[in-house]
Amino acid sequence: MSEINYLAAFLIGLLGSTHCIGMCGGIVGALTMGLPENVRQSSLKMLPYLLTYNAGRLISYTFAGLIIGLMSASASRFFQVGSFPVGGIVGGLFMIALGIYIAGWWQTLAPLERLGGHFWRLIEPFGRRLMPVKTLPHAFSLGLLWGWLPCGLVYSTLAWSATSGDAVKSALLMLSFGAGTLPVLLAMGGLAEKLQKFTRNNKVRYVAGILLIAFGALILTKALSGGHQHHSMETMGSDMTEMQH
């Protein structure tokens, strides 16, 4: 099931990348403004800066996944209350919310973005000090900071990854998500336009949303059936103990 989760995380990043363009596209534009004109006019010369920036961003996502995974692992008892699988249910609900969000039917993740905005105000001044970007270390540092931009898509994927109850799995889920955002954010010229047109297509968004909702329903069904089975086995064990007495 882990492989399916990583694929789902990748697809969330890929199909939600139109949201990334809206939030990060301006940042990438600001990243290029401080570079020499001969670099800005060459896609080949620009590529190292884009790769370095996005490497920093993905490291931030992975690190956030690792932190939330460690926290959820240490608080694993909260993810299973008796026979009630809290973690699986929360994960399924977040996946359904993501599906609705990516399909564009309802801004289910807006409250998460508003919440993250308070944290971002503390970090944003450090990003301003790195502008304009003129070196690769500057681009990498900016990527590390902008990886914490208040984004409901990132936050909800992070919350979903926390339900794994494992630091490494949580980190890998966030890395898979980040990898999904790369094609659109790295693409330049005509290819970027084609990718943006594809991900903004309503039919593509609807199909992606429905698939994620179905996956969320599968997670919920598995969690609830697992909890019911666990409860049934406990009941059977109690009955056998009573019969022996």
If you write DSSP's letter for every residue of 36-86 in order, what string do you get?
-HHHHT-HHHHHHHHHHHHHHHHHHHHHHHHHHHHHHHHTGGGG-BTTB-H
User: For residue 32, is it within any domain?
Assistant: yes
> Per the domain annotation, does 234 fall within a domain?
no
End-to-end C-alpha distance for the chain, whole angstroms:
41
Angle formed by the axes of helices 2-15 and 17-33, nearest 10°: 60
The closest alpha carbon to 178, from 11, 3, 2, belongs to: 11
* The predicted structure's pLDDT at residue 155: 80
Which domain range does residue 173 map to? 2-80+110-151+160-199
What DSSP string runs through 73-119? HHTGGGG-BTTB-HHHHHHHHHHHHHHHHHHTS--TTHHHHHHHHHH
Number of domains in the chain: 1
C-alpha 57, offset from chain centre = 12
pLDDT band (50, 70, 90) for residue 216: confident
As to burial, measured by CB atoms within 10 angstroms (0-12 exposed, 13-18 middle, 19+ buried), residue 104 is: middle
Which tens digits make up the pLDDT trace of 79-130? 554 555 666 787 788 888 888 887 878 877 677 777 777 777 777 777 777 7
Q: Is 25 helix (H, G, I), strand (E, B) or coil?
A: helix
Q: What is the pLDDT of residue 233?
A: 40
Confidence of residue 55 (pLDDT cuts 50, 70, 90): very high
Q: What was the pLDDT predicted at 240?
A: 41
Residue 215 lies in a domain: no
pLDDT at 3: 64
In a domain, 167, yes or no: yes
Q: How confident is the model at residue 64 (pLDDT cuts 50, 70, 90)?
A: very high
Residue 125 included in any domain: yes
Residue 68 falls within a domain, yes or no? yes
Arithmetic mean of pLDDT over the chain:
76
Q: What is the pLDDT confidence band of residue 21, given thresholds at 50, 70 and 90?
A: low
pTM above 0.85, yes or no: no
Contact 182, 54 (CB under 8 A): yes
Q: Taking 70 as the threshold, does the pLDDT of residue 177 lie above it?
A: yes
Contact (CB, 8 A) for 94 and 159 = yes
Q: At what angle do helices 167-186 and 17-33 cross, to 10 degrees?
A: 70
**In this prediction, what percent of the chain has a pLDDT beyond 90?**
13
Residue 89 lies in a domain: no
- Confidence band, pLDDT 50/70/90 cuts, at residue 22: low
Confidence of residue 41 (pLDDT cuts 50, 70, 90): confident
Higher-confidence residue of 220 and 78: namely: 220
What pLDDT score does 178 carry? 92
With respect to residue 236, please indicate whether it lies within any of the assigned structural domains.
no
Using pLDDT thresholds of 50, 70 and 90, give the confidence band for residue 63: very high
